[in-house]
Amino acid sequence: MPTIDVIREMYNASGVHPTTDPDDPRSHCFVDRYKKHLCKLITPGMRVLDLGCNAGRLTFAMEDMGAIATGVDFAEIPILHAKKVAYRRKSQCQFIIGDIVSLPYKGNTFDLAVLPQNIGYLSYQSLELLSVQLKEILSENGIFVVIMQDELVKRAGKENLQDCYNVQAGQMRANTTIPNKGVYASPWHCWTVAFAKYIVEKHLHLQKLEQIGEYKFLLVFRNKQGNGSL
């Protein structure tokens, strides 16, 4: 099965749980971790896109910051839940089912796009395809925020990777056990900050790189005329 279907199947099987449900206070911890960084970038009326939004905990949080927020995810189950929450809250958030590597938007549709903690699901080629799209979709001076962990900083000296790491694809084999459902494959690409920066910078301009946790980083790119090589 292609990796994209494997990951979608895993997220549909895991569905919505307390830490991902925007209506459950246990999901707030994740949101709070990133709120203070996003608050500095989001201004009222800004059109924002949450890439890989799941059930929308961060999408709703960005709406609360004043943004006009859209979330996209290829897992149908969490998106349907996000839509129900939006309806109940009378929220203006839009949620669409789709692959972030082939977005259905035209030029100048968003002012900010955020990829929060899910770069590992993208292959190296997919991040480049996403960056090319964002160059088009984001407004002039629009912002692309990547929140990611550096796998080298995280794993250095701690694990024997040989059994689970595919050197050529840069992909870790991993499994996730979902209670009452079984064990699901959840492959994960090993990203470093340097490599992500190298790929996105071909198309967007790096404005800021900040370490926000033990091995977590926030990268802020801007869509400026003339940046990028393609």
| 188, 170 contact by CB (below 8 A) | no
Per CB under 6 A, the list member of 24, 99, 136, 201 interacting with ligand SAM is 99
Q: What is the DSSP letter of 119?
A: G
Tokens representing residue 119 in the block: 């770069």
- Assess 118 for contact with ligand SAM (CB under 6 A): yes
Q: Report the site for ligand SAM in 47-76 (rule: CB under 6 A).
A: 52-54, 57-58, 73-75
| 62, 54 contact by CB (below 8 A) | no
To the nearest 10°, report the CA torsion of 155, 5, 13, 54: 70
- Assess 147 for contact with ligand SAM (CB under 6 A): no
Largest CA distance in the chain: 52
| 150, 157 contact by CB (below 8 A) | no
Of 129 and 227, which CB lies nearer to ligand SAM in the complex structure? Answer: 129
- Assess 117 for contact with ligand SAM (CB under 6 A): yes
Q: Smallest distance, Å, CB 162 to ligand SAM?
A: 26
Q: Report the site for ligand SAM in 170-229 (rule: CB under 6 A).
A: none
Tokens representing residue 193 in the block: 């900050």
- Assess 149 for contact with ligand SAM (CB under 6 A): no
Q: Which residues bind ligand SAM (CB under 6 A)?
A: 4, 7, 11, 20, 30, 52-54, 57-58, 73-75, 78, 99-101, 116-118, 121
